[in-house]
Amino acid sequence: MAKVIAGMVMSLDGFVSDRNGDLSRLYPDFAAMQASAAVQEAIASTGAVVMGRRSYEMGDDYSDYEFQAPIFVLTHEPPDEPAKGQNDNLSFTFVTDGIDRAIALAKSAAGEKDVTMIGGPNTICQALAAGLIDELHLEVRGVLLGDGLALFGRSDRPPTELDLIDISQSPGIIHLRYRVLPS
């Protein structure tokens, strides 16, 4: 059965973008990151993707998007225009009835492969609070942003126990993989 794996790149002080929404300090060499073993492993094991609407809007053409799989976008309202770059492998479904439904659809589409959640923080935190995430993969970049959009801001979510299952590094980044323990 498909595992749900949520992951994001964040600064050492816990931010996924700076105070202006800029990601450049977290992705100084995007091509090298895409070629990394961690990203290539995620691409190979992913059968479906879940993302939030803001993450979806960061792309304008998905023709060369690394995850060529069905993508489920959690949103309050689907966009007027269809996404560019859809093909036989890559499709977009806009889910308006909650994170539970988005994950259920993604699991069905993924088959035996994993469901990868790529953001944003609100989507990941909703899934974490609902107990829908099996693993949390964090890429911690060696930079202190000081302010910005936090991955784990204040929340009514109960404490979540994590079990470290892997730690590795590549230039400028620490890769942490955690199993989310049942509450």
Torsion of CA 147, 170, 113, 162, to 10 degrees: -60
Interatomic CA distance for residues 52 and 121, integer angstroms: 9
What tokens appear for 94 in the block? 């806009």
Give the rounded percent of residues in the chain with a pLDDT score beyond 90.
66
CATH number of 4-180: 3.40.430.10
pLDDT at residue 103 in the model: 97
Interatomic CA distance for residues 94 and 74, integer angstroms: 6
Average pLDDT across the chain, whole number: 91
Residue 160: pLDDT above 80? Answer: yes
Indicate the pTM of the whole model: 0.92
Residue 39: pLDDT above 90? Answer: no
The domain locations on the chain are 4-180
pLDDT tens for residues 91-116?
A: 999 999 999 999 999 999 999 999 99
pLDDT at residue 42 in the model: 87
pLDDT at residue 117 in the model: 96
Interatomic CA distance for residues 70 and 126, integer angstroms: 20
pLDDT tens for residues 133-149?
A: 999 999 999 999 999 99
pLDDT at residue 102 in the model: 97
Residue 119: pLDDT above 90? Answer: no
